[in-house]
Structures are given as C-alpha cells and as structure tokens.
Amino acid sequence: MAKFTVLVADDDQDIRDGIEIYLKNEGYDVLKAADGKEALELLEANDVHLLILDIMMPNMDGITATFKIREVRNIPIIMLSAKAEDSDKIHGLSVGADDYVTKPFHPMELMARVKSQLRRYIQFGTYDGQKKIEVDGLVLDEEAKEITVEGDVVKLTPIEYKITELLMKNAGRVFSINEIYERVWNEAAYNAENIVAVHIRKIREKIEADPKNPRYVKVVWGIGYKIEK
C-alpha cells in the first residue's frame, strides 16, 4: 500500500510532535503546521491525504480553515477540540469535518480514527455525506444530534445521546459497562456499574414503548448492553 501523508495542524508543539510520533509508528508520512494559514499553504504544495486540525489556532482557526479547504478538496478532516469548550457548540460548528476528537484524547484512539477515515476515503473515493443511521424504527441523525422512534423525535440529554450513538453505530456489538463508560465519559472506568445503569434506564424510558421488555437496548447478562442490528 502506498504511503499516506497526514497533515497535523495545532499551535501546541508538544501535541504536534506527539501525534507525529504515533503517526510515523503507524507508517504515515507527516507534515506539521502551527496555524490554519500554514496548513492551507502546505496543503496546496503537497499531496496530503488526511488532515488533523485543531480548532483553536492563531491566524486562522480550524473551522474557517475547514470551510476554505472544502471549497477545493474533499479529503478527510479530523478536528481536535479541548474538552473545556462547549462540545455541543463545537459539534454544531464543525460541520464539514468528518470526525472530531476532544482533548485530552488517547493517541491510539486518534490513530484508529485516522485509519478508519483513510479506509473510507480510499473505498468511496470521496467523503459521503450520509449522516443518518437506522436500526429497526430507531433513527439517529448525526447532524441534528437527534433521535427519532418510529418518526417521533425523542429528546435525549448529551450523555444519553452519546450512549445511544455508541450502541447504534456499533449495532450488534455488545459493550461492557466499563467500555460504555470509557467511550462516553472518556476516562477510566471505576465503579461505573450504577451510573451507566441509571442512564440506560433513562434512555429506555424515552425510546422504549415498554421499558421492562426493551426492543432496542438489550442487556446481555454478565457482559453488557447492545442494540440489535
């Protein structure tokens, strides 16, 4: 397989260098930019296949840069944002990005997303705008951050949405309680049973006709939860 080139744009040099080390270990070529303007210049001068873009940068922020890039090219863009920033707002603004990761992130997770985006890029040749997932009568609209059951909009809280999103995007796969906690809260699971159980129950109350006999969010006793494909 030909080598891919990844452009990393972040104003923090430690983060740039850290990401570079991981990417090189995975066999990618790496270019680095300290701000959005520099990123655009490098993008024009080189054959770049994927872009990792911090939102907060001097000269030109990541969102503006994304708009500029999208006018010309369709390469995968992964956005980085600080956890402190309002993630909902960021998500809303970051239309045009293919994926986004909140800091602090686990390097291996970023690598996984890079791989996944490149796979998609290669496979479809271009980014496909499909942002709806459907399982049975349950629909997840990633752009509107909205879930509908048989056409009716259901109002979920951020955590409830993220759990449902995780289960729907991986429908059929069972997630242990710890896994759910780690992927939604983005921190190591420690006594997570109860809190996840409470949120699962809230989700069921909202999306299940009969929460006692759930049609979507099913328990796999002793292992975890899943939404059937």
| Binding residues vs a copy of itself (CB under 8 A) | 12, 14-15, 17-18, 21-22, 25-26, 70-74, 76, 90-91, 93-96, 98-99, 104, 106-109, 111-113, 115-116, 119-121, 123-125, 127, 143-146, 157-158, 161, 172-174, 178-179, 182, 188-190, 220-224, 226
Partner interacting with residue 37 (select from DNA, a copy of itself, none; CB below 5-8 Å by kind): none
Binding partner of 185, given a copy of itself, DNA, none, CB within 5-8 angstroms per partner class: DNA
d(CA 43, CA 37): 10
Q: 13-25 vs 107-124: helix axis angle to the nearest 10?
A: 60
* Distance in angstroms (rounded) separating the CA atoms of residues 53 and 15: 11
Q: Which stretch binds DNA (CB under 7 A): 42-50, 140-148, 164-172, 219-227?
A: 219-227
91 binds DNA (CB under 7 A): no
CA atoms within 13 A on the CB side of 44: 10
197 is an interface residue for DNA by CB under 7 A: yes
Give one word for 96, left, alpha or beta, with left for phi > 0 and alpha for psi -120 to 50. Answer: left
